[in-house]
Amino acid sequence: MRPGPAALPKFSIIIPVKPEGEVCALSGLSQTTYPEELFEVLVAYGRQPSVQRNAAARDAKGEILYFLDDDSLVDPGFLERAASHYREPKVAAVGGPSLTPATDSPLQRAIGIAFTSPVGGGGVRTRYRKSGSARYSNDGELILCNLSFRRDIFLTHEGLDERLYPNEENELMDRLQREGHLLVHDPELAIVRSQRKSYRAYVRQMYGYGRGRGEQTLISGKLKPVSLVPSLFLIYILLLPFLAGGIFLLPLLCYLAVVAAASVAGSIAGRDLALLPRLLLVFPTLHLVYGAGVLRGLARPRYRGGKQTHWEVEIRRVKGFANSEAC
Q: Which distant-in-sequence residues (6+ apart) come within 8 Å of 174 by Cβ?
A: 139, 220, 222
pLDDT exceeds 70 at position 280:
yes
The arithmetic mean of pLDDT across residues 101-110, rounded, is 97
Q: What does the CA dihedral 127, 38, 159, 89 come to, rounded to 10 degrees? A: -80
pLDDT at 1 over 50: no
Q: Using omega within 30 degrees of 0 as the cis cutoff, is the peptide bond preceding 166 cis?
A: yes
Q: What are the start-end ranges of the E strands in the chain?
A: 11-17, 39-45, 64-68, 91-95, 98-99, 135-136, 146-150, 182-185, 191-192, 314-319
Strands, sheet with 11-17, edge to edge from the N-terminal-most edge strand: 135-136, 182-185, 91-95, 146-150, 64-68, 11-17, 39-45, 314-319
pLDDT value of residue 324: 47
Res. 326: pLDDT tops 70: no
Contact status, residue 96 vs residue 188, Cβ threshold 8 Å: yes
Q: What is the pLDDT of residues 158-217, one digit of tens each?
A: 999 998 989 999 999 999 999 999 999 999 999 999 999 999 999 999 999 999 999 999
Instruction: Answer yes or no: is pLDDT of 327 > 70.
Output: no
- Note the pLDDT of residue 224: 84
pLDDT in tens, 38-51: 999 999 999 999 99
DSSP string, 195-235: --SSHHHHHHHHHHHHHHHHHHHHHH----GGGGHHHHHHH
- pLDDT in the model for residue 303: 83
Average pLDDT, the chain: 93
Q: How confident is the model at residue 7 (pLDDT cuts 50, 70, 90)?
A: confident
